[in-house]
Chain A
């Protein structure tokens, strides 16, 4: 029995920078069963309508990571996205190349920046000659050691997270969710002998530009949850390298700030994070804000039960002893 089909309108981004002055959207309407993957539909368009449609794909099984693209504005694998729910939600299916990477042609983007950032985190095991890996036998891990990887080994480098990330969009210094999730994977690998240095190096190289907006975690087709692993990396980096630049200074400063009154001392936090020179540069903005919101300069009254908060710090925060 044949599955029932629905008339499914597509709008497909087309652009050949060598010939076209601007991108255009080609319209195609296909009769498709709801479970048809978007990739299958695009290949049908290529076969039946327009052989020049250019796209990347290979395995069709969400393993190779080649066919990530924007499907109704969301970064997704085309092979893993059925047309039915997209049509139901949007009434049509708009196909565009991924964001944050220049278009080579149609749906194919130049992934060089993505791979450059990946290479930069040195995505390979670094061993130590003084503590060599066993030769001729396995190097087993305990179940606890394996758990620490979370889902990071599942990453297929499809770049959907990179495409969805607003920090990548706004700042070329941010390594991107995938590179950082990979970094995490090597940091927690018990066979890797460079974990601490990796954590020290990544702090000034963009770790703290993560916005923890979790858009990468929503975009990831393999549930790698990069944003959560980046959070873990931040905590590990503070433990390994201390407070070495504005990001960690802000996070640790915030933590210590709350220990004082249980509620945020806004002005003090800003002072701590910036340091004197940057604070001076911020003076005009500070005056602008304080004129409308004078409370920002006020030291807050401590909360009731501050002793309880301090007891929690004492029990769980190693820094509390120093205070």
Chain B
């Protein structure tokens, strides 16, 4: 399998551990990632708010670059996934398409709508399949209770994202089970992490993140996992602030999705960039370390 790898900004910058883990997992599973140093930012929802047609055109360029190479896009961020999918949708509207075509044409770029955009979660669960993945597990995450945290834009709006059930999704929990861990079901798993207003009104954003972490904890989660590096910023990098808002300690390790997969496939904590987290993952790792990894 060969895919155009769209890491998004954060995985190339402060969330570099997501990129490390993605590359490790894909190398291990025989997914060939093709890098495109000319991809631009997806707009993260903010450019859409400031100038929606500009947002569509910037993403049309990204989609056109992949189409020209004859490759589908792989995302590792719920927000990138949402924005690129939304652009694909908007480009189905003839007026929008004509306007964007007019902007791309002088750049000798064209986009016919063929690029499929798939998040790593979808590739692992639907393309590789949970059974095949299970057979590759060398360090079953037995005893680890994991609360999946989907991230809004992977799921909603469901009519635009063409996603699994936005209200009762299960692909992430299926993946967690395949890795040998126990998925924890809680209301917060499909809620918002607060990130979009983290720099607008931080206490409110922290409170929202705190509620979801608290909810996962109340349902018995030892750790959370997310397919979105923006959720990771809210849930991990600002967890101390979330603790302040909810008024008690949370101490919840939060994994990027490919880190959890990599752990089960035998990668080391360093290879997955786990020491880069703000909330230590040691307690969660101790739970799975009892299972020796065959060399």
Which positions in A face B, CB cutoff 8 Å? 73-74, 89, 166-167, 169-171, 208-215, 217-218, 225, 227-228, 231, 234-235, 238, 246-248, 250-252, 254-255, 258, 262-264, 266, 269-270, 273-274, 285, 288-289, 292-293, 295-296, 298, 300, 303-305, 308-309, 311-313, 315-317
Contact = CB atoms under 8 A, between A and B. Distances in A.
B38 A295 contact: no
A169 B50 CA distance: 26
Interface of B: 9-10, 12-16, 37-41, 43-54, 57-58, 61, 102-104, 106-107, 109, 152, 156-158, 166-168, 187, 191-192, 194, 196-197, 199-201, 204, 207-208, 211, 237-238, 240-241, 275-278
Contacts of A89: 168
A74 B45 CA distance: 25
Contact of B40 (A251, A258, A269, A292): A258
A166 B107 CA distance: 42
A235 B47 CA distance: 10
A217 B47 contact: no
A308 B71 CA distance: 20
B204 A171 contact: yes
A238 B10 CA distance: 26
B47 to A, nearest CB: 5
A292 B236 CA distance: 12
Given A254-B47, A292-B277, A315-B103, A211 B194 contact: yes
Which residue, A169, A213, A248, has most C-beta atoms of chain B within 10 A?
A: A213
Nearest to A288: B278
Given A288-B240, A313-B54, A296 B13 contact: yes
Interface majority SS on B: helix, strand, loop or mixed? helix
Given A166-B191, A211-B197, A228-B157, A316 B57 contact: yes
A288 B233 CA distance: 13
A246 B238 CA distance: 19
Given A171-B201, A250-B46, 12 more contacts: A170-B211, A213-B152, A213-B192, A214-B157, A218-B158, A246-B199, A250-B200, A255-B43, A255-B54, A266-B9, A295-B16, A305-B38
Nearest to B188: A166
Contacts of B50: 234-235, 238, 248, 251-252, 254-255
B46 A251 contact: yes
Contacts of B194: 166, 170, 211
A316 B156 contact: no
Contacts of A74: 167
A218 B156 contact: yes
B107 A311 contact: yes
26 contacts: A166-B194, A167-B208, A169-B211, A170-B204, A170-B207, A171-B207, A211-B192, A214-B156, A218-B156, A225-B157, A228-B157, A231-B49, A246-B201, A251-B47, A255-B50, A255-B51, A258-B58, A285-B238, A293-B237, A295-B14, A303-B38, A304-B37, A305-B38, A308-B61, A309-B61, A315-B102
A87 to B, nearest CB: 14
A217 B153 CA distance: 13
B269 to A, nearest CB: 14
A304 B191 contact: no
A213 B208 CA distance: 12
B53 A303 contact: no
A317 B157 contact: no
A251 B9 CA distance: 16
Which residue, B38, B109, B211, has most C-beta atoms of chain A within 10 A?
A: B38
A43 B109 CA distance: 61
A308 B13 contact: no
Contact of B197 (A218, A231, A247, A304): A247
Nearest to A309: B40
A309 B57 CA distance: 9
Contacts of A255: 43, 46-47, 50-51, 54
Contacts of A254: 43-44, 46-47, 50
Which residue, B57, B199, B237, B277, has most C-beta atoms of chain A within 10 A?
A: B199
